[in-house]
């Protein structure tokens, strides 16, 4: 019932609580569920509405109607499944298995390497190369920019919004930028959408790593590469977008003739300076 809905972290806490208390959930009041989940009662109401119900009573009624019929020994189907110790594993294991499935989906997508190869060419040719990622996507952008700077002569990280963001985009365009790499993950900030519109108007070609081809940042002229995020835990998990970012790095390195020389030069400097403990 929860799949296909974009739930907030608070709403996910409620969902996880209901899963853990599956046998009791159809009979809990909104106040009782709120106490068990550690949230406010209005949050429970908003949770029910987010799932498409008029309110919590309608959600509870739906749960009661969906109860499995008792078996011959008086136990419900759900109870019988729970008695075997949980073949699907606990909630943490399920989150890991979900991420593994997302990586499998990414591997299948990469069976056609042409889009990634094209993205690598665009990113390698852009001097400078702006890399955008705000809020939840900032970590992905920062990680890409850190490694990209070892092989690309001019990488400019854009991981903070605000009135200066457009100025920094304009400065990159004036310096010769031809493409922009964007990491766009839920919940998609309006600043990201606005920054991409500004970048398009400035003439930049957009390469975007997003959670879906239907993400609100997507536009027909962009090169969008999808990588699903996990929603099993309270906060999104982004193993697949991170992996896709590293794949893009590899594709970009393939297009930079001096990439290996730059890496060797960095390693030599690092050794002289004693940067690393091993």
Write down the pLDDT at residue 211: 92
Domain count, the chain: 2
Domain assignment present for 2: no
Question: 209 lies in which domain range?
Answer: 94-273
Write down the pLDDT at residue 84: 40
Confidence of residue 18 (pLDDT cuts 50, 70, 90): confident
Of 16-20, 38-42, 67-71, 190-194, the range with the lowest mean pLDDT is 67-71
Task: Return the higher-pLDDT residue of 5 and 173.
Answer: 173
Cβ within 8 Å of residue 22, ≥6 positions away = 78, 82
Co-location of 80 and 100 in the same domain: no
Co-location of 124 and 258 in the same domain: yes
Domain assignment present for 278: no
Q: Which of 19, 261, 27 lies closest to 150 in space, CA to CA?
A: 261
Rounded to 5°, the CA angle 215-121-230 comes to 30
Co-location of 127 and 223 in the same domain: yes
Co-location of 163 and 267 in the same domain: yes
Co-location of 26 and 116 in the same domain: no
Co-location of 53 and 164 in the same domain: no
Q: Pairing state of beta strands 129-132 and 179-184? A: parallel
Across residues 91-106, what is the average pLDDT? 91
Co-location of 111 and 245 in the same domain: yes
Write down the pLDDT at residue 78: 44
CATH of the domain at 39: 1.10.10.10
Co-location of 217 and 149 in the same domain: yes
Q: If you search the block for the tokens 């919590």, which residue do you land on?
A: 56
Of 85, 117, 151, which marks where a domain is finished? 85
Write down the pLDDT at residue 11: 86
Co-location of 65 and 142 in the same domain: no
Domain assignment present for 4: no
Per the CB < 8 A criterion, the answer to whether 130 and 158 are in contact is: yes
Of 54, 85, 116, which marks where a domain is finished? 85
Co-location of 54 and 108 in the same domain: no
**Does residue 2 register a pLDDT over 80?**
no
Confidence of residue 77 (pLDDT cuts 50, 70, 90): very low
Co-location of 153 and 263 in the same domain: yes
**Does residue 117 register a pLDDT over 80?**
yes
Write down the pLDDT at residue 89: 77
What pLDDT, in 10s, does the model give residues 254-265? 999 999 899 899
Co-location of 24 and 149 in the same domain: no
CATH of the domain at 210: 3.40.50.10490
Domain assignment present for 3: no
Is residue 97 exposed (0-12), middle (13-18) or buried (19+ Cβ within 10 Å)? Answer: middle
Write down the pLDDT at residue 6: 74
Of 25, 60, 85, which marks where a domain is finished? 85
Whole-prediction pTM: 0.74
Write down the pLDDT at residue 69: 61
């Amino acid at each position: 019932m929860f799949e296909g809905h974009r739930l907030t972290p608070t709403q996910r806490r409620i969902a996880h609580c209901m899963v853990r208390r599956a046998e009791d959930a159809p009979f809990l009041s909104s106040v009782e569920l709120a106490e068990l989940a550690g949230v406010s009662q209005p949050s429970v109401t908003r949770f029910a509405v987010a799932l498409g119900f008029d309110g919590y009573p309608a959600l509870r009624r739906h749960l009661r109607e969906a109860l499995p019929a008792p078996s011959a020994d008086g136990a419900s189907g759900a109870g019988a499944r729970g008695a075997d110790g949980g073949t699907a594993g606990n909630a943490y294991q399920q989150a890991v298995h979900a991420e593994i499935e997302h990586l499998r989906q990414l591997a299948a997508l990469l069976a056609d390497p042409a889009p990634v190869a094209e993205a690598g060419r665009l990113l390698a040719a852009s001097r400078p190369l702006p890399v955008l990622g705000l809020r939840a996507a900032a970590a992905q952008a920062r990680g890409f920019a850190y490694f990209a700077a070892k092989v690309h002569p001019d990488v400019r990280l854009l991981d903070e919004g605000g009135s200066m963001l457009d100025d920094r985009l304009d400065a990159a365009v004036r310096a010769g930028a031809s493409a922009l790499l964007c990491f766009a993950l839920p919940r998609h900030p309006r600043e990201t959408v606005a920054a991409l519109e500004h970048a398009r108007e400035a003439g930049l070609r957009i390469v975007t790593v997003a959670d879906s081809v239907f993400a609100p940042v997507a536009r027909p002229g962009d090169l969008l590469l999808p990588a699903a995020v996990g929603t099993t835990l309270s906060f999104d998990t982004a193993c697949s977008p991170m992996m896709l970012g590293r794949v893009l790095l590899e594709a970009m390195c393939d297009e930079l003739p001096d990439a290996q020389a730059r890496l060797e030069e960095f390693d030599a400097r690092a050794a002289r300076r004693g940067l690393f403990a091993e």
